[in-house]
Copies of this chain bind each other. A is one copy, B any other.
């Protein structure tokens, strides 16, 4: 006993100051008893969630007294809350128990960020009903496009052993308003729906529920056939429908607040209703019907494309628009932000706003499949906001993607927003400490898409590192510049998908495979030739511009008006085309690639200067990642410029840093990076 006691004494200082990123932005320290005694945290409600809210404040809130009150009449608040108060008392009111929890975290966030808490007059209403993470976690604990270790879900140990990280995960999500999670990969194993696994899922759901988080599952459309030997999984066959009804019933017996299914069907080899000559609507509706009695939803993905002659970027629109109005009320079409696949920059998917009679939700990608994995610092709030703020011009000006999906324009049963998680079992959850900011930013924007990227960054930096303005300001700037830097050194001016085939990490603009799908080859996207570069999606080309509403259609269609940051997305542009800078396309391309490299070198300087503000472990880990990023930026720049130069036959402007690699040597690089688990 004595021995243990000593251990505690000696270890305690280290435990307190250990900074491995595992605390995320929740680096609250328990308040002293003396502080706690000066104020009360009173409840005018009873509910597990409310008690949790009280407990969080009781433990960590260092300010004035707080009263938590439930008022079911305030429906307009949804899961939101009202915070009112002065220096001596705060009243926190919500219509739903979870609203009080969110309000408590709001208070703690203000406290940690060093904001004023003595003049509170806050009303917060979430923009989306469902704020959901998609885990692309496989049952063997690998994570498709996961770069932070193996899956958090220890299926082999469940349901009997419960990792403390399950609750930490739920708390972190609750603290930023995330209220739902899809546990398994959209490339779904049917196994997840077996009784054995449902018991495990229930164990997780029971923990998450304490933090107001509902569980969803990715469903494999062939489950009836695979799991129970049905002759097929045709959605119009009664036997199949019955199978799903029974399965859903079983799920709800375990998990009464089960959220529903996420489905990737007839996409990249996944089974789906088209296997039986049925439509996406037929498939989605069958599942929706099974879920309806329990209030469950179907999130049906629109990420579909086939190796046809048709421009891949057009296919989701072509398949789904004709189905508008044919989906059940409890179906939401889940649409990736861009028409191809989570590239560093894409225009928004034109499907947004093109289906007035169908609920739509965005799918973002937090995990950096195409933005340097967990090696590159890329703050994604600006990318998320670029899509959210994009005006679809559906029914006139101002109908942004945000307003279309949040229900402001057209009413649907539920609104939702999703993102593919970047979470794994690494101590710091996300591999790169700064990648935590992307999880954070998604949560905050899902709650309030009006927040600025700068605000979110500042909040995150203050709570995650320090409030010192000498740290916050340069780091905020670095974060704000980071996504554009990645675009610059990877794929500027609208270039896209010139990644290495297997891993989507390094550059491979020369990539080609005999007999491979053209739409999986970089040349399909960049179209480099001796004339120029870029994908002609104008009316003279694939005519993808026609899927956009006016005036976008015309703006994108004309080389003179097309935004230059999307130029090569929509146009095949001559190497000597004069850009707005006065430079040729080739020179401009070089300048962008070089700028990307120089920016990352600046990030290194910024970070190194801040060593004294950060604990050593996180400082070092981030410093190391930035080194990799600089090396990779040069790799990208050299690979792309040297390759495209074989077409342009023009010199890289001589004032720019010269390549340090030879093209032939770069072509030999083969990385075995498929799994980062």
Contact = CB atoms under 8 A, between A and B. Distances in A.
Interface stretch (A57-65, A202-210, A653-661): A653-661
Contacts of A608: 651-652, 654, 658
Contacts of A609: 654
A659 B611 CA distance: 15
A627 B657 contact: no
Most B C-beta atoms less than 10 A away, residue of A627, A651, A658, A659: A658
Contacts of A658: 601, 604-605, 608, 626-627, 630
A661 B627 CA distance: 6
A662 interface: yes
Interface in A639-655: 651-652, 654-655
A657 B611 contact: no
Contacts of A161: none
Interface string A505-540: 000000000000000000000000000000000000
Interface in A654-673: 654-655, 657-662
Interface in A590-637: 601, 604-605, 608-609, 611, 624, 626-627, 630-631
A654 B651 CA distance: 32
Contacts of A601: 657-658
A637 to B, nearest CB: 13
Contacts of A626: 658
A620 B131 CA distance: 55
Interface residues of A, number: 21
A654 B624 contact: no
A655 B661 CA distance: 25
Contacts of A605: 654-655, 657-658
Contact of A630 (B604, B630, B654, B660): B660
A74 to B, nearest CB: 53
Q: How many copies altogether? A: 2
Contacts of A662: 624, 627
A631 B627 CA distance: 14
Interface in A557-606: 601, 604-605
A601 to B, nearest CB: 6
A602 to B, nearest CB: 9
A117 to B, nearest CB: 36
Contact of A631 (B624, B651, B660): B660
Nearest to A654: B609
Nearest to A610: B654
Contact of A611 (B604, B651, B660): B651
Contact of A627 (B627, B630, B652, B660): B660
Contacts of A661: 627
A618 B605 CA distance: 37
A659 B607 CA distance: 12
Contacts of A604: 657-658, 660
Contacts of A630: 658, 660
A475 to B, nearest CB: 15
Contacts of A659: 627
Interface string A313-344: 00000000000000000000000000000000
A607 to B, nearest CB: 8
A432 to B, nearest CB: 15
A654 B609 CA distance: 6
A652 to B, nearest CB: 7
A661 B608 CA distance: 14
A658 B603 CA distance: 9
Nearest to A604: B658
Interface in A270-306: none
Interface string A243-258: 0000000000000000
Contacts of A655: 605
A390 to B, nearest CB: 36
Interface string A348-384: 0000000000000000000000000000000000000
20 contacts: A604-B657, A604-B658, A604-B660, A605-B655, A605-B657, A605-B658, A608-B651, A608-B652, A608-B654, A608-B658, A609-B654, A624-B662, A627-B658, A627-B659, A627-B660, A627-B661, A627-B662, A630-B658, A630-B660, A631-B660
Given A608-B654, A626-B658, A627-B661, 18 more contacts: A601-B657, A601-B658, A604-B657, A604-B658, A604-B660, A605-B654, A605-B655, A608-B651, A608-B652, A609-B654, A611-B651, A624-B662, A627-B659, A627-B660, A627-B662, A630-B658, A630-B660, A631-B660
